[in-house]
Amino acid sequence: MSAILSADDLNDFISPGVACIKPVETLPAAPPSTGDLEHEVILDGQQNTGANAGPAQISLTDCLACSGCVTSAEAVLVSLQSHAELLNVLDSAPALQLTQQDGGFKVEGLENPDSKLFVASVSPQTRASLAAVAGRGVSERDAGRIIAQLLMGSEGLRAGGKWNNGFTWVVDTNAAREACLVLGAEEALDSNGKVAKPILTSSCPGWVCYAEKTHPHVLPHISKVKSPQALMGTLLKTTLSRTLGISPDRIWHLAVMPCFDKKLEASREELTDAVWNGSGQPGRGVRDVDCVITSKEILMLTESRNIDFFGLSKAPIPASSQTPFPDPTLQRFLFSRRPRNTQSDLLAGTSGGNLYYTLKYVSAQHPGSKIETIRGRNADVVEYTVNSAAGEPIFKAARYYGFRNIQNLVRRLKPAKQSRMPGAKPAAARKPAGKQAGLEYAYVEVMACPGGCTNGGGQIKVDDPVVVERKGFESKPGAQEQKQWLAQVDEAYFSAEDSELDSETDGENSTVIKGGQAQEGSDMVDGISPSYIRDTLAHWASMTGIEADKLVYTSYREVVSDVGKDNAASGTERVVQLAGKIGGGW
C-alpha cells in the first residue's frame, strides 16, 4: 500500500454499525448463527483468511459504485493504485518488446502471459510541481524530460528491478487536452446537444464523484467529453491494441497526475474496453488507465529504487533509444511540439483552460467581440461574458473552484419542488438570488480544488520534507509560505516553453510545428486548429474501426445508497436488486 494512505483509514467507516449495501459474489449457504452480521471488504488480490465463508466478499468495483461508505472505499482504491503497484507490475515479467519488420511492428514476448507493453502519460501540473521543487531555473519542460529519463532512460527504472523494465513511450496529456478543449467548445455551442445548459465541465473527478452521489439533479448538465487522462487512455489502448494486434490487457498504461481522485476516475466502468471493444455499455473490462500515481508519488517511486530524481539528466531521450509510434498520424499528434497558448495565458488558469478556450472559440466566431471578466465573491468565482461589437451579450460563462463555491452553484441548479396542493400552478424555475433576469450561464468550469489543478491533493506541498530541505526552511512552513509556494508552482506551469526544438532535442518521435500552424489548417483558435483536431479524431476512429462517440464521450449515473432503508427483502432478492446498480458511478 501507499505510504500516503493505509487500511487503517477504514476503521471509522467500515464497521458492524454501518450496513454495506453492495451485492455479494456468492450467497452464504446458511444464515449466520449470530444476531450480528459482519461485513468484510476484501482487497483485490488479498486472500480471505477466515475459516468461515460468512462475510461478504466485496470488490473495489462494488465499493466505488456505493455511496454508503464513500471515503473508506475511495481510500482503499487510492492506496492500491500506488508506486508500489507500479514496481510490482514492472518486476512481474519481462516487458513486451517491439521491433520494426517489413514496414510494420512485431511484438516479442507474447508467450509470457504476464508480459506487458508499458506506456505512460504525464500531466503538465505534475511537471510544474516537480519543477518548483527542483528550483534553480528548472522549467516545466526540464521536469518533463527528467520524468521521461526516470520512466524510459537507462539511468532510471531500467537500471534496477528484476527485469530492468521501463516504458516504451511517455506522452504529454496536453495532446489529449487540446482535443478535449475543441470537443468541449463545440459541445457548449451545440444548441441541439444532449447536455442541458449550463454545461458543467467534467475533467475534475472529485466534482463528478460529488455530483453522482449527492446531487444527481446536475448530472444532465455535466459535459460528456472525457477528461484528458481518460481520452489519452482510450487513445493509447485502442490504437496500440489494433495496430499491434494484441489484447488491451497486454498494454499497461500509467498516468501521472496532480490529483488522488484521478485514481478513482481510472476505475470507472465507463472507462474500460467494455465500452469501445464490447457491448458499448459500461462494464468490468480492461481499464483504459491501469494505474495513476501523483506528483508526490514520483518522488516515492525514485526513493524506492534509490534514484536521485533531481540528479537525472534534463536532456531528451536519444532518438536511438526511442521506438516510433505505430501510427504516423497519431505519432505526429502525440509527439509534435507546438505553442500551447492556453498554458501560457494567466486567464486560462491552471486546470487545462476549458472555459478560456470556449470563450476564445465563441469570440472567434463573432469578429469584434470582447470578453468581459467580473470577479465574484472570491478569487475562485469569476464570471465571463462575450459581448458583440455592439456591446450585446452573446455568451455567458463562469468559473467555480472549491467545494464551498460548488455548493452554491449546485443550489442554484436545484429544481424547485412541486406543490402538493390541488390545483397549484407548476413551480417556476429557481432564479439565482440577486441576479437580474436575462442571459444565464451557458458554460461553467468546475474544479474541486481551490486555485485549480496545480493545487491538487497529489501535488508536492510546501511542508513536505523534500521542499523543506531544498528550500532551507528552518521552521515548519505556514500559510504565507504555502501561498508563495503555490505561486511558484503556477509560475512553472505558465512558463511552459513554446520555442522550437533542434533536431537533437526532437528525438525520433518529436516533430516541430512551426508557428503552431504548419499543416494544421488556418482556423487557429488560441494556438489550436479545430479542423486539425477533428481530422485527427476522424482518423483515429477510422483506423480502429470504432465509432467516434464511443472514443471521446462518456456517461454518468446517479449512485443511490440503501443504507438505513428497509432490509426486509430476502438475501437473494437484495442481491438481484443491488446487482442492477453495478456498472456506473464510483
C-alpha atoms less than 13 angstroms from C-alpha of 263 in its C-beta half-sphere: 27
DSSP for 330-373? HHHHHH-B---GGGT-GGG-SS--HHHHHHHHHHHTSTT-EEEE
In the predicted model, is pLDDT for residue 342 greater than 70? no
- The reported pLDDT for the residue numbered 509 is 60
3-state DSSP call for residue 544? Answer: helix
pLDDT confidence of residue 61: 46
Would you state the pLDDT for residue 520?
52
Q: Is the confidence at residue 151, as pLDDT, over 90?
A: yes
Mean pLDDT of the chain: 81
Average pLDDT on 222-243 reads 97
pLDDT, average across residues 360-380: 93
> What is the phi/psi pair of residue 381, to 5°?
-125, 115
Average pLDDT value for residue range 55-62: 45
Residue 169 has what pLDDT?
97
The answer to whether 537 and 179 are in contact (CB under 8 A) is yes
Q: What is the pLDDT of residue 585?
A: 37
Question: In angstroms, what is the C-alpha Rg of the chain?
Answer: 25
User: How confident is the model at residue 181, as a pLDDT?
Assistant: 96
- Give the max Cα distance, the chain: 79
Terminal CA-to-CA distance of the chain, rounded, Å?
20
445 or 76: whose pLDDT is higher? 445
Going by pLDDT thresholds of 50, 70 and 90, the confidence category of residue 505 is very low
**What pLDDT sits at residue 284?**
84
What pLDDT band is residue 443 in, cutting at 50, 70 and 90? very high
pLDDT at 192 (0 to 100) = 78
Report the 10 Å Cβ neighbour count for 129: 31
Residue 348 pLDDT level (bands cut at 50, 70, 90): confident
Q: How far apart are CA 134 and CA 305, in angstroms?
A: 19
Q: Decide which of 81 and 340 is more confident.
A: 81
The dihedral sign for the CA sequence 8, 12, 18, 23: negative
Handedness of CA 154, 160, 161, 164 (dihedral sign): positive
- Per residue in 448-461, pLDDT (tens digit) is 999 899 999 999 99
Nearest CA among 332, 395, 392 for reference residue 365: 395
C-alpha span between 278 and 284 (Å, rounded): 11
Evaluate whether 130 touches 143 at the Cβ level (below 8 Å).
yes
Which comes out higher in pLDDT, residue 486 or 74?
486
Residue type (1 letter), 19: A
Strand 251-257 to 117-122 pairing = parallel
Predicted local distance difference test score (pLDDT) of residue 80: 74
- pLDDT, tens digit, for every residue of 182-202? 999 999 998 777 788 999 999
Pull the grid cell for residue 500: 522550437
Measured between alpha carbons, how far is 99 from 110 in angstroms, rounded to an integer?
13
What's residue 515's pLDDT?
Answer: 39
Look at 18 and 572; give whichever has higher pLDDT. 572
C-alpha cell at 203: 475533467
Q: Rounded to whole angstroms, how far apart are CA atoms 428 and 437?
A: 13
Q: What is the mean pLDDT of residues 195-220?
A: 92
Strands (E), 93-141: 97-101, 104-108, 117-122
**In this model, does residue 88 exceed pLDDT 80?**
yes
Q: What distance in Å separates the CA atoms of residue 188 and residue 195, rounded to the nearest whole number?
A: 9
| CA 570 – CA 95 distance, rounded (Å) | 49
> According to the model, what pLDDT value does residue 92 have?
96
Q: 324-355 in b/e burial notation, b at 16+ Cβ within 10 A?
A: ebbbeebbbbbbbbbbbbbbbbeebbbbbbbb
Q: Which residue has the cell 468495483?
A: 61
**Average pLDDT value for residue range 64-87:** 66
With pLDDT > 70 as the criterion, what percentage of the chain qualifies?
73
Q: Which of 437, 383, 392, 430 is nearest to 410 (CA)?
A: 430
Q: In this structure, is the dihedral angle defined by the CA atoms of residues 289, 285, 116 and 47, taken in order, positive or negative? A: positive
Confidence of residue 65 (pLDDT cuts 50, 70, 90): very low
pLDDT at residue 341, rounded to an integer = 56
What local confidence, expressed as pLDDT, does residue 100 receive? 87
Q: Using CA atoms, how far apart are residues 136 and 288, in angstroms rounded to an integer?
A: 37
| pLDDT tens per residue across span 251-310 | 999 999 999 899 989 999 999 999 998 778 888 889 999 999 999 999 999 999 999 999
Q: Which pLDDT score is estimated for 131?
A: 96
The separation between CA 391 and the C-alpha centre of its own chain, rounded to angstroms, equals 38
> Mean of the pLDDT values across residues 40-58?
46
Over residues 567-586, the mean pLDDT reads 45
For cell 531555473, the residue is 137
Q: What is the pLDDT of residue 467?
A: 94
What does the pLDDT average to over 142-147? Answer: 96
Angle at alpha carbon of residue 61, lines to 549 and 205, rounded to 5°? 55
Cα(393)–Cα(438) distance, rounded to whole angstroms?
10
Q: What is the pLDDT of residue 423?
A: 65
pLDDT for 422: 73
3-state class of 272 per DSSP? strand
Q: CA 331, 335, 340 angle in degrees (round to 5)?
A: 135
**For range 109-115, the mean pLDDT:** 96
